[in-house]
Each structure stands twice: as C-alpha cells, then as structure tokens.
Structure 1
Amino acid sequence: MSGLAGTGRLTRLALRRDRIRLALWVLGTPLLGLALAASVTGIYPDDSSRLGYARTAASSVVARAFNGPIVGPDLGAVVVAETYVTLALLAALLSTFAVVRHTRQNEETGRAELLGAAVVGRYALLAAALLVVVGANVATAVLLALGFVASGLPVAGSVAAALSIGGVGVAFTAVAAVTAQLSVTSRGANALAAAAVGATFVLRAAGDVLGRQTDGGLRVESAWPSWLSPIGWGNQVRAFGGERWWVLALPVALLAAGVALAVLLVGRRDLGAGLFAARRGPARAAPGLLGPAGLVWRLHRGALLGWAVAVTVLGFSMGVAADEVNDMVGENPAAAEAIAQLGGGANLVDAYLAAMLGLFALTIGAYVVQALLRTRGDETDGLLEAILATAVDRVRWLLTQVLGAVLGAATLLLLAGAATGLGYGLVAGDPLGRTASLGGAALLRLPALLVVAGVVTLLVGLAPRWSVALSWSALIGFLLLGQLGAVLDLPQIALDLSPYTHVPSVPAVDVAVLPLAALTAVAAALVAAGLGGFRHRDIPS
C-alpha cells in the first residue's frame, strides 16, 4: 500500500470538518486587509501626508520594530507598512493551528488510529493537512490581491503584497508540520510553533531596527537578521517599492525542506508518540485539583503565562513609543484626527494611550474566547462527562470556567496597562504615577470583556455546535467595529453593537460609571442565560 493512500478522502474530510473555520480564514483575512487599507488611505490621503509618514517611519526605531521597513512614500508602501505585520502574524498562527489540528490533535484524540484501520497510508494524514492549509493560504492571497487592486492600488504591488503574506502562511505550515512530530500533545506542538513565530518576529524586528535609511531617509534597507526570519522575507519582497519576486521562492523552499523533515520524522516514530518524550507527572495530584477551581488554574496557567509575557512586553514598548506620537503625526492632521477618534480625546498622547489600552482589551478578548471555548473541547472529547460523574454539578463547573477566564483577563489588563504606564513614565519622568494610573485605566475595560465572556457562555449553553465559529466571529466583529468603525465613519447604531464602544476612553476622557454598570448587567444576563441553557441540555450535545 502506498504511503499516501487515502490522501484525497482525508483532504475532503478535513475540508468538511473545517468548512466554517476555513471560510472565516479565507474570507476574513482579505476583508480585514481591505478594511485596514481603507483606513490607512483615509488617514494619509495625499502625497504630503504620506511623505511625512515615510520620513518619520524610516527614522523611528519603534515604527521599524513593530511595522517593519518602509519602502517609499507611495500609498501602497504606506498600506503595506501599516498592515503587513498584522496580516502576516495572523497567517502564521492560523496556519500552525490548522496543521496541528489535522495531524497531532487527530493522534491525540484517537482519530488517527481509527482512520489507520482503513486503507490509509502512513503519510496520508500529514499530506492532507498540508494540502488544505497551503490551499487556504493560496486562496487567501488571491482574494487579498483582488481586494488591494479593488482599493485602487497598483496590480504588481498588490500581488506582491498578497503573496508575501501568503508566503508567511506557507512557511509556517512547514514549521507546524515539524513541531507536530516533536510533541506528544497538540498543545505542545502549538506552543513550539508559536515560539517559532515569536522568535522570527524578534529576528525581523532586530533586522529592521539595525537597518539603514536610504533614498533621502524615505526607505529602510533591513540588516541581515531579517533574512533569517520567514516574517522578514515578506518585507524583503518590497511590494510597491521595486518588487523582488525571487524572495517568494524562500517560503516555498522552506516548505519543501519542512515537509521532507516531517516525512522523515513520521517514519521514525510510533503513531501517537512524539520525538520528545512526555514528561512524567508527580505520583500524587495536588490537593487543589480536587475542586474545579484548581483544575481551571492548572489547565490555563501555561496559556495565561504566555499571554502575560506578551502583553507586558508589548505594553512597555507602546508606552515608550507614546513620547514619539507628537513627532510622528504632528504634521498630519488626518492621522491626528484618527488617533483622537480611536482614543476619544483631544490630547494626542492621552488619546494614543487610550487607543492602545483599547487595542489591548480587544486582543485580550481572544484570551477570553480561547479559555471559555475549552469547555466545548472538554465536552466533545468526553472529559466533561467524567467530571460531572463526581460531586461537581454543571452550573458550578461552567461558572468556575467563566470566573477563571474573567480573572485571567483582569490580570492581563492590569499587566498591559501597568507596563504601558511604566514605559511612558520612564520617558516622561513619572514611572510610578503613570504605572498606577494606566493600570487602573486598563481595568476599566474589563466590563467589555465580561460581555465577551457572556456571549461565549451563552453560545456554549444554547448553541454548542456553533459556539466555536460564532464566538470567534463575534470577537472579529467587535475588533472591526472597535478599531475601524470610527475611522470609516460607520453609523453609531453599528458602533453600539460592540461592547468596547461603550467603555470610556480613559485617560483621554473622564470615567463614566453608568455605561460600565450597564455592560456588567448585560454580561450577567448573558452568563445567566448560558448557564440556564447548559443546565438543561444534553451532554455532549
């Protein structure tokens, strides 16, 4: 029997399983790119504003670290500088999660062993996952290129920008194919792949920071560390700045090498095993695991630690960058107005800080969704039935999960705000005062996250089969409304659909208690409805 026997059927099965996720990925990424491009076009509408942006972005160390190198003052170059890193990280993470889900997770849950009882080759599972994920990246790149062209950008640059983002996804498809062979768990494989994403981002940032300015200070030539990073390769394509098409061969080469290595590793291990041996646990469980609260902490502490490190580092960096806001947009009224709209205040620095805290709150919403959707995973994997066979009842178990997610979100908000305040305070000369004030300002975003938790709880309780897709769709909707609604002048009735709209943009404006109390009440009602539905429906459902 061929090692690839059954690949076609496994590919169709993967497409069937992920039809909703793939639709959100393939359609959502281009729509996000189109929305970001439209917002950038509105902020920098003329040549003079784009010239000022290019000069400032090329000279700012912070801008180079987070946005990458600018390749010129053209509209397309500005759009790429503002959107590439976001879309590239999204492509990298979506690709790694998808590969692991269809390889290591299938082995972890026993699906691979069941499938292996049929006429299925040893490498068919890996081949099917690679076909689906690479195909999703290609489709995303095609639609993204069409979106850029529809926005009025040049065709060649649009195609190069879209392929550079698709290339990042293809590169990390190869990375995930290898990490799925190393770890014995899907969580471990995802962690290794995410660490690779983080390492390549740091390499890219270092190369861009160490780069040199050219063309009268309007372009940046990256240093050698960027060439070690698949994320940096996309920047080196130089879309809208004299495209270098040959760079697109690098992700393809990495894919070929990664697939070859993954195939070699598959042939050297047993089904369900990993190249890294599983760590033996203690002989006796900790007393805290006797209750649902201790179990929640044990299951979520690793993810919470990773999120905590990420928001602390990013918060400190954003705080340090606050001192450069006046220089970066002082000569661009449109950019200043956009920051004021996002931050909700007239003082540019305070508006920037408020906007950053709002962005952190939106991002931490992903942690809330991720943490609460674990309940659905425990249910479908059969773990919940074993828990409910003990003295733990349904409502207590789910409510503990909600409280754990909310406490984790509050911790992350506090860390993000305090780190932002510390970074800005060190520059402005008041580290303790700014750390305390921005830490408190960040916590004021918690009611919006309570609503996110309420929405997920409601979906898990009343619509469990659709809870994953609808929960992420709701969060993406809140993201688009919260970050782009004001810039795109959407009607207020649309903006009000997002709970983040109702949170006062402290420190740019004064605290308002009524909207925070209203959001908390709405969240409580959503959680109560979700608990009621969960209490009366079948397990599993």
Structure 2
Amino acid sequence: MSAVTAAPPLAAPRARGGTTLSGTWSLVRFILRRDRVRLLVWSLAVPLLYLASLAEYTTMADDPEGMQARAALVQTPAMVSMTGPGYGTDHYTVGAAVSNELVLWMVLTLAVMSILQVVRHTRAEEESSRAELVRAAAVGRHAPVVSALVVVLLVNLVVAALSTAVLVGNGLKPVDSVAMSLGVALSAMTFGAIALVAAQVTEHSRGATGLSMAALGAAFTLRTIGDMQEQHGSWVSWLSPIAWAQQMRAYVDLRWWPAALAVVAIAVLLVLASALASRRDFGAGLVPDRPGRADALPSLRGPSALVWVQQRMALLWTALGLALMWFATGTIVDQVGSMTESLADNPVYASLLGSGEVTQAFVGIIVLYAALGAAAYGIVAALRAKSEEDAGRVEYALATPVSRGRWLGAHLGVTSAGTLVVLVTGVLGLAAGAVAAGTDEVTFGQVTEAGLLYLPALAVFVGLAAALFAWAPRATSLVWLLLEYTILVSLFADLFHLPDWARRISPFWWVPDPLTGAVDLGPVAGLCAVALVLVVLAFVGFRRRDVATR
C-alpha cells in the first residue's frame, strides 16, 4: 500500500516589497470600471440640480419683491427645518438663495452616495466572500478599504468641480462657489467615514447601511433643532456635520474654518475604523448576530414573509421621515396665500403654479414631491430582487418548492404595498399639516385625492423596474433615468418650452390634479394599463431567462 503525499498549498503571490496597501490602485481602477454607470449618474445629478435651480433663481433676480417674499418664506420655522439657518435674507440674492436652500439637499444626496458606495465595497464584499478571494491575490490587508474611500473621495471631488463650474458659469463668485462645493463634499465624506465605522460593527451590509442612514437622520434632526432654537443656529446645530457646510456662509459672509471640522472628524473616524477593524475577525462584525429561533414562526413561511422582513425597516424609516417632512411643509400652506401677488407675477412661479389659485397650486407641487419620493422608494424596493440575484440567494430560494412567479410576485407585492404606504403617509402628513395651519383654501379630502391619483404612475415605475430586471438586468438603471426625466418635466417643462411629445414620456404628466382642474380618469386608466403590461412582461421575462448563479 502506497501513500500519496499531498503537495503543500501554494502561497498567495505577493508583490515585491508588498505592504498592507499593495494593489490599492488596481482596486480603484476596478471599482471605477465596475461602477462607471452608477458613479456617472451620481456625478451628474448634483450639478444638474444646481443648473435646474439656477434657472429659477436667475429669473427671479429681476423681481426684488419676489426674492424678498421668498426670503420671508425661508425664515419660517417649517422652511428652516427644510433648508437651513437662513443667512443673507435681508438682501436676498441668487447666491444667498443657492447657499440657503440647496446646500442641505446636496449634502444629503452626496452623503447617501458616500454611504452606499463605502458599504458596497467593504461590508457587502466581505458578506458575499468576494473580498476573501480578492485578498488571496497580491492585495494588502487595507487595500480594499482604502480603495473604496479613494473612489468616494474622487467622486465627491468631481462633483465639487462640476458644481463649481455650473455655479461660476451662472455668474456666482468663484471663491464662494469653490468653498461651498468643497464644504458639501467634506460633509458628505464625513458620512462615508461613519459608514466605514458601521461596517466594522455589524456583520451585514443592510445593518451597516441602516446604522449609517440612522446617523444621517440624527444629523438632520440635530441641525433642524439647533437652527430652530436660534436665528442662524445654536450650539446644537454644530453637532451635525450637515451644519458645517451651511455655516460656511457662502455668498453672504464666507468663512473657511467650519470645513476644518469635517476634516478633523473624517480623520478621527478613519482612525477609529482602523482600530475596530484590527479587533475583529475578517468577515465578522464587532457585534455578533444574536441566534434566532430553531424553527421559523408560521407567519414567516413563504417568500412574501422573507421579502417583508428584508424591507420592513427601510419602509418604516422612509415613511416616517417623509411624513414628518411633508407635515412640516403643510404647516406653511396658509402663509403661501399671503404672497399671491408677488408669486403670481414671477414668470418661474407662473410656469410652475399655473393660472389658478396659488395656494392650491403650491399644495399640488408638494403632493408631486411626495409622489416623487414614493417613486424613488418603489424603484429601490423593486430592484431589491436584483440584489438578491446578484448575491446568489435566488437560486437557493428557487431550489425549494417556490416557483419563479411566486418569488417575483412576493417582491412585487411587498414593494407595491410599501410604495402605497410611503405615498399615503406622506400625503396624509401634508394634509394634516395644512389643516393644523388653519388654511381653508384646500381640504383634507382634496389633498388626499390628489395624492392617490399618482398611484397608477407609481405602478408604472415599479412595473418598469421589474420588467427591466426580468429582461435586461444590466439595464435597470434606465428606470432611474426615467425618474430624473420625470422630475425635469414635472417642474420645468413650461420653463424649458418642452414639446407635448416630450412631456408625454413622463408618467406623471398624465396624472390629473383635482386641486387646479377637473379630473379626467381616461389617462389614469391608461397608466393602469401600461403598468399591467409591464408587470406581465416582468413575469414572462423572468420565467424565460436564466437565473444568475455564483
């Protein structure tokens, strides 16, 4: 009897003179290639938002009364919670309007991007075991994390450069434009560093994303409380990284030193993340998952229960956050009526509000915002099915007595119900705020009806996301392009003189507004038919194509 001696395992090749950062730039190039479409959309979103808003602000610059009316609105408590501390309102200029009204939302947008990118290329890679394969090559221990941070930094810098170009190109001061854009980028990077710390704490990407988003929500709340306590913010405001960008006072009284707070915070968070990473096992988190039940509850059996467990926390916080924001907006409805003349005479607001009552038209626009927020949630929730397939979990689910149609139907059912909840809670919050403000120009029923009429259009977005997932999974980002186009058509179609055929591409263009005119149910029925066709196509396509395996 002979014995066969196994050859010793080959050691992973290491680069000559390799360090813990070996392979960083190779991973940077890989991430940029892998996420090129995603990063391109994020990089263009903020500059385009600046460009669209500047078209409104520069038009209003010729109307001093309209600008001051806008400044008065910005100083109301509800608007302070949605914008910022309100600098330069005594002499409201285009620059002051940009700084006061846009910085908060630009920070939130880039913060979400930074959080998602950091978690995607750190905790999610460990959870899927891809990071283990990468580290088996000539890659240093810290290279994956550093490469993810470098990419996020590069994207934020690119956005800052493009934003500066847009702002300067519209006649704003170059130095203030650079300062504001860098302040926004640094505040967003702070939340990216927070996401890196969260990725060391929890074992799952959903947990890391949830903790990071909770930190972002807490920062928003602290900034709101601080700005409402005192004019231009109290000490509570300074606890929020969001406030650091706003407190630079671009275009009003520029000061650079608040940006140093973001730099220090980023450095501290990176050191903390490094220390935590050295104290945990690879692939695990500092806080281990608690053991679950040996047997699942009867209510958790089936694909619908699984999808619900995966989406319930995101639905809870999205619905609650948007409902509170729209409630705050509803409380200023009665103040809009006092500015009827100055708003109606402004060409931009005339294009947005139409020829009817300004208060009713204003409420219609806020209902539109609520519907856009619900559409964004619906797209994210619908594309959760693609994430499950990319992670290789769909093949395991389909290996059980679960058909493809039942699995996809579970995702679409929970997504549709969640989208409905987000829209209804937002509209009810807006209606409750308007009623609490004591306005008599719109009723609770009118606001609710206006919101519910958007349901067929939302079904079109969900159906399109599902159809793209079923037939062309790599083209699912097209649904986001449709949402961006819908925003453009809904807000600036008249301002940009878009032809009717271009407006008809937007699902929201077909939604009637009971606040400003009669309701024609014909287009609503058409949207329902389109949504039904897209859902049927999704089921047919998913049954015909191969499921990706790992």
TM-score, normalized by length of structure 2?
0.91
What is the match of residue 84 of structure 2?
68
Equivalent AA in structure 1 for residue 514 of structure 2: V
Quote how far apart the aligned CAs of 1:390 are.
2.3
CA shift in 2, pair 1:57/1:465, >3 Å: closer
What is the match of residue 467 of structure 2?
458
Worse-superposed segment, 201-210 or 446-455: 201-210
CA shift in 2, pair 1:26/1:2, >3 Å: same
What root-mean-square deviation, in Å, do the aligned CA atoms of Structure 1 and Structure 2 show? Answer: 2.1
What is the match of residue 77 of structure 1?
96
Equivalences for residues 264-413 of structure 1 within 5 A: 264-327=275-338, 330-334=341-345, 338-339=348-349, 341-342=351-352, 346-413=356-423
Q: Which of 37, 41, 52 is 1:24 aligned to?
A: 41
Instruction: Note if 1:147 corresponds to 2:156.
Output: no
Equivalences for residues 41-440 of structure 1 within 5 A: 41-58=58-75, 60-72=76-88, 73-212=92-231, 221-327=232-338, 330-334=341-345, 338-339=348-349, 341-342=351-352, 346-428=356-438, 434-440=443-449
Q: Which of 507, 532, 549 is 1:524 aligned to?
A: 532
Worse-superposed segment, 35-44 or 166-175: 35-44
CA shift in 2, pair 1:56/1:404, >3 Å: closer
Instruction: Note if 1:511 corresponds to 2:528.
Output: no
Please state whether the residue corresponding to 1:331 is helix, strand or coil.
Answer: helix
Instruction: Note if 1:477 corresponds to 2:485.
Output: yes
1:91-144 Cα deviation digits (max 9, x unpaired): 111111111111000011111111122222221111111101011101110110
Please state whether the residue corresponding to 1:253 is helix, strand or coil.
Answer: helix
Distance 2:251 2:204 in 1: 42
Distance 1:55 1:378 in 2: 48
Aligned residues: 529
1:341-375 Cα deviation digits (max 9, x unpaired): 44556112211111111111111111111111111
Determine if contact 1:458/1:530 at 8 Å carries over to the other structure. Answer: yes
CA shift in 2, pair 1:435/1:280, >3 Å: farther
CA shift in 2, pair 1:67/1:456, >3 Å: same
Worse-superposed segment, 128-137 or 281-290: 281-290
Distance 1:328 1:167 in 2: 37
Distance 1:195 1:486 in 2: 38
Distance 1:191 1:246 in 2: 31
Instruction: Note if 1:36 corresponds to 2:53.
Output: yes
Quote how far apart the aligned CAs of 1:181 are.
0.9
Quote how far apart the aligned CAs of 1:391 are.
2.5
Determine if contact 1:339/1:352 at 8 Å carries over to the other structure. Answer: no
Determine if contact 1:340/1:348 at 8 Å carries over to the other structure. Answer: no
Distance 2:85 2:495 in 1: 24
Could you tell me the percent identity over the aligned residues? 37
Determine if contact 2:382/2:465 at 8 Å carries over to the other structure. Answer: yes
Distance 1:520 1:23 in 2: 32
Please state whether the residue corresponding to 1:332 is helix, strand or coil.
Answer: helix
Determine if contact 2:331/2:437 at 8 Å carries over to the other structure. Answer: yes
Equivalent AA in structure 1 for residue 363 of structure 2: L
Determine if contact 2:446/2:514 at 8 Å carries over to the other structure. Answer: no
What is the match of residue 535 of structure 1?
543
Distance 1:429 1:482 in 2: 25
Quote how far apart the aligned CAs of 1:339 are.
4.9
CA shift in 2, pair 1:429/1:344, >3 Å: closer
Determine if contact 1:343/1:508 at 8 Å carries over to the other structure. Answer: no
Determine if contact 1:123/1:266 at 8 Å carries over to the other structure. Answer: no
Distance 2:533 2:487 in 1: 22
Distance 2:73 2:310 in 1: 44
Distance 1:280 1:67 in 2: 43
Distance 1:148 1:485 in 2: 22
Quote how far apart the aligned CAs of 1:34 are.
1.2
Quote how far apart the aligned CAs of 1:260 are.
0.8
Distance 1:40 1:429 in 2: 28
Distance 1:329 1:86 in 2: 26
Equivalent AA in structure 1 for residue 462 of structure 2: A
Worse-superposed segment, 251-260 or 92-101: 251-260
Determine if contact 1:39/1:484 at 8 Å carries over to the other structure. Answer: no
Determine if contact 2:202/2:287 at 8 Å carries over to the other structure. Answer: yes
TM-score, normalized by length of structure 1?
0.93
CA shift in 2, pair 1:343/1:278, >3 Å: farther
Q: Which has the higher helix share?
A: 1
Q: Which of 32, 48, 63 is 1:15 aligned to?
A: 32
Quote how far apart the aligned CAs of 1:454 are.
1.7
CA shift in 2, pair 1:223/1:519, >3 Å: same
What is the match of residue 7 of structure 2?
none
Quote how far apart the aligned CAs of 1:512 are.
1.8
CA shift in 2, pair 1:490/1:82, >3 Å: farther
Determine if contact 1:360/1:413 at 8 Å carries over to the other structure. Answer: yes
CA shift in 2, pair 1:450/1:56, >3 Å: closer
What is the match of residue 5 of structure 2?
none
Instruction: Note if 1:491 corresponds to 2:499.
Output: yes
1:169-198 Cα deviation digits (max 9, x unpaired): 221121111111111111111111111111
Worse-superposed segment, 250-259 or 275-284: 275-284
